[in-house]
Structures are given as structure tokens and as C-alpha cells.
Amino acid sequence: MNSSVLVAGGGIGGLAAAFALARQGVSLTVVEQAPAFGEAGAGLQLGPNALRVLADWGLREAVDAVAAWPDALLVRDAAGGRALGQMRLGSAFAQRHGQPYACLHRADLHELLLQAAQAQAGVVWRLATRVASVTERSDTVRVVLDNDEALVCTAAIGCDGLWSRVRHAVVDTAAPVPTGHIAYRGLIPAAALPPALRAPRVQVWLGPRLHVVHYPVRRGEAFNLVAVVHAHGAAPDDARSWSEPATRADLQTALGPLHRDLAAWLDAVPAWTRWVLHDREPLSGPHGMANGRLALLGDAAHPMRPYLAQGAAMALEDAWALGRLASAPGVADWPQRFERYAALRWARNAQVQHRSRRNGTVFHARGPLRWARNAAMALLGERLLDNPWLYRGPGDDPRPA
């Protein structure tokens, strides 16, 4: 037997799971297909629920060193520029929810989780190693790698993202489905922006069949910008890629008239990439997250559309729950632990999946729905933009004090 538990995938969820379990004394092998851990991705938003997890792990200081702290979430009309709604994200927000709202470069969050996990004993790291298949046996799990090497472990956790292979042995072999939306992304050095646009703010621009969001990362040294439009023209060559090269011209055809501030933001992007958004039906029960000695975590179980900015947060929450269960009294073995984990996590993840989908429809609305959305935002303001049910998370503690 090579190790006790195999973690497939060393993305945000895999590293978080490795850290959460290793600090409870679980010995692990982390298998990541990439040849090296490095600068990948762009921005991520972390609400108070995610920061609560990181604080519980003693990682708030590491987050504070790299995060940007937006003072507000401002929603504007993409064509006219009119402010449609605003929620303050400063101290009142932090007091209300017990933690603030942060924006990070994905690579910075990845790096701080990697350092935290590598500081734990009992973790074997295998890069350039791809899981091909996973089979559960009566009291072990057999993992076959792409090079035909076989590993035998007591349990396996699929943190292998949207196109998960571990998922095949837990739920189904169906591929994720394109949502019909394409995300264009760029990272803008703050110095490249006109000073008037550099406010530390999450800004969301809504238009028919499109929205654009930008926010500061890296202590405000850069801004991440993502424009999501309905698919048009030729599909990118690699549907799985997070960073297919793209041009402003590719995006322009999907955009209508733009307010001058928004046009200035788009003009400031030095290089564009794009990815085709895919997802799966929201979870319908605990069976979507675990089966016997196998469990799924993060996007492998519940890919999130990016309209509630909770993909990374839900992976962190999953990992937190697993870590707590690893030392919870009365849960003696992995099948039992995974059963409790799935029971605890599936409904919250499903709720976030549903709400993310609904937000997408509202963000991109046309006609009467657009009118109703704007009227509701004007009337309810912060109350509509806040999500106490979500930000109170990560939900029930499997190991109450």
C-alpha cells in the first residue's frame, strides 16, 4: 500500500484538502498532472465564508499579505454607465459577517495553500502525474496512473476539477456541458489605468446577454477583468483550457454600445485569454459527492458558474469539512467520514450552484426582466446584493467544540 489517502489534483481544492487532512495527521499522496506548480489563472473573489475557513486554518496573515480589499461592490449599466446598485464592503460589512471580502490572484491563493500544505508532515507530492482511473475494492482503492503505474490506498479524494476522472468511479462518466457563455479575461497593471478608475472596488457592468466584472488583486497592484458573453463565432480550439489566447476583436462582436469608462477598462487590458464556461446539473443528493472510499471535492463534484464568485470558496469549505471530520469523534473509517462529509456539504453546494445559475440569468437579462432587475436594485439596494445565508458559512461544524 503506497499511502493512506490519495488526493487527485493539486488545484485550490486539492491543496486545501491536503493541508486540512495532513494537519490532522492523515498521511497523503497528492497527484497533480501539471509538471510544476506555478502562476496559473487570474482573479478570485473570496467572501467572508471563505475567509472564515482560512482564518480557522491560521492562514489569515498569509492572505492579508497578498489580498486586495475592495471597499464596495458597484453595479452599473454597461451602455449608459448608470449606477444600478451598491453594497459597501468595508468595515460595516466585515462586522456584519465576521470576516471581510477579499480579492486575490488565483496564483497567490494557490501558493499560500501550497506553502501551508508543504509545511505539514506526511504528504508525498507527485507532479506530472495524471490519474487515469480509480477503482474501489472491498477495503482499498486502486488508482491507475497514465503511465500504467498502480497505487493502492485506503481512500481517494477527487479534487481533479471540472473534467474529473475520479468522478467516473463516484457518479458518472458524462462530460461537463458548455453553458453557452464564454469568459474573456485580462490582468491589468494598476499603473496602466487612468487614475480615476483605480478605486479598490468590485465593479460589475450589466448588459443584455453580457456582463463585465473587474476588481483589484495583489494589494491593488493589478486588476482582474472578466467579460462574460453569450457564445458567438468560432469556438476556441481547446474547450478545456483556462487560457486560450484571444483578442479584443473576438470579444467586441458580442458587445453592444459601451459606456466610456467600461471602454477604457477594456482598452487597458494588455492581453486577452478566454475560456468556454462549462458546468453540470446542480447536486441532487449526497451520492454526487461520495461513494464508499471515494469522495469528490470542489469542481469535480459541483462546478460553479462564476456569477456568485464562489467556486474557490466552496472548494475551501469542502476541504474544511473533511479536515474537521478527520478528527471528529465517532467517525472511525473513511467510508463513514465520506458519508458524513457528503451529507453535510451537498445541499449547500447545490444551493450555491442554483443561485449562481440564477444570477447569470439576471445579470444578462433583456426586456421586462432587465427592467424588473433594475427596479429591484434601486428599491432594495444593499439588501438585494448581500447574501447573509452564504457569507455566514461554511455551515455546520462536523466537530463542534
Ligand X SMILES: Cc1cc2nc3c(=O)[nH]c(=O)nc-3n(C[C@H](O)[C@H](O)[C@H](O)COP(=O)(O)OP(=O)(O)OC[C@H]3O[C@@H](n4cnc5c(N)ncnc54)[C@H](O)[C@@H]3O)c2cc1C
As annotated, the active-site residues are 215
3-state secondary structure of 48: helix
Say if CB 52 and CB 99 are below 8 A apart: yes
Peptide bond into 394 cis (omega under 30): yes
Q: What are phi and psi of 300, to 5 degrees?
A: -60, -35
Site for ligand X in 12-31 (CB under 6 A): 12-14, 31
By CB under 6 A, tell whether 299 contacts ligand X.
Answer: yes
Q: How far is the CB of 107 from ligand X (least distance, A)?
A: 9
The interface with ligand X within residues 313-372 (CB under 6 A) comprises: 315
44 beta partners: 104
Region label for 37, one of left (φ > 0), alpha (ψ between -120 and 50) or beta (otherwise): beta
Residue 167 near residue 17, CB atoms below 8 Å: no
Whole-number minimum distance, CB 14 to ligand X, in Å? 5
Alpha-carbon distance of 125 to 24, in angstroms, equals 18
Segment lying near ligand X (by CB under 6 A), choices 50-58, 73-81, 148-156, 294-302: 294-302
Using the contact rule CB under 6 A, the part of the chain among 157-165, 207-215, 258-266, 364-372 near ligand X is: 157-165
Name the residue whose CB lies closest to ligand X: 11
Site for ligand X in 115-144 (CB under 6 A): 130-131
**The C-alpha cell that represents 110 in the structure block:** 494557490
142, 3 Cβ separation under 8 angstroms = no
Place of cell 470542489: 298
d(C-alpha 134, C-alpha 143), whole Å: 5
The nearest distance, CB 85 to ligand X, in angstroms, is 22
Site for ligand X in 92-111 (CB under 6 A): 106
Q: How far is the CB of 50 from ligand X (least distance, A)?
A: 10
Closer to ligand X at the Cβ: 84 or 116?
116
Q: Does 152 bind ligand X (CB under 6 A)?
A: no
Identity of the residue, 87 or 131, whose beta carbon is nearer to ligand X in the bound complex: 131
**Interface with ligand X: number of residues (CB under 6 A):** 31
| 33 near ligand X, rule: CB under 6 A | yes
Question: Does residue 42 touch ligand X according to CB under 6 A?
Answer: yes
User: Of residues 3, 6, 10, 151, which one binds ligand X by CB under 6 A?
Assistant: 10
Alpha helices, H only, 307-387: 311-326, 334-363, 367-380, 382-385
- Nearest by Cα to 346 from 275, 307, 296, 399: 296
CA–CA separation, 150 vs 130, rounded Å?
A: 11
When the beta carbons of 7 and 254 are compared against ligand X, the nearer one is: 7
> Is 153 a residue that touches ligand X (CB under 6 A)?
no
- Residue ranges that bind ligand X, judged by CB under 6 A: 8-14, 31-34, 40-44, 106, 130-131, 159-161, 165, 242, 298-300, 306, 311-312, 315
